[in-house]
Amino acid sequence: MADAGKKTVVVKEGYLVTGKAEKVVEIDVDTFLCKGCGICVEMCPRKVFEWSRELSEKGVHYPIPVNADKCVKCKLCELLCPDFAIAVRW
């Protein structure tokens, strides 16, 4: 999935979904660890995440960082994730 207007790219490889904003931030979501609780989706102050349309191997919808360009690097998603399924890097 790519959004040419916002320069955000989402790549899915196996268990890892990565949202990248050009030269700003990279947000990784491990779909194997994620249980789909939604804390990251609800608590993100910039609404970086959206729910996936497909199910993970565990049978849950997982968050996708589709608006990584809006990320302010607060790391709330990483800190609040009970499954340690999110990593924020820049």
Question: pTM of the full predicted structure?
Answer: 0.85
- The rounded distance, in Å, linking the Cα atoms of 79 and 12 is 22
CB burial of 30-53 (b: ≥16 within 10 Å; e: otherwise) equals: bbebbebeebbbeebeeebbeebe
Instruction: Please name the fold of domain 2-89.
Output: Alpha-Beta Plaits (3.30.70)
pLDDT per residue, tens digit, the chain (90 aa), is: 544 455 688 899 889 999 998 878 999 999 999 999 999 999 999 999 999 999 999 999 999 999 999 999 999 999 999 999 999 998
Helix/strand/coil (H/E/C) assignment for every residue in 4-15: CCCCEEEEEECC
Q: What are phi and psi of 13, to 5 degrees?
A: -135, 105
Q: What are phi and psi of 52, to 5 degrees?
A: -70, 155
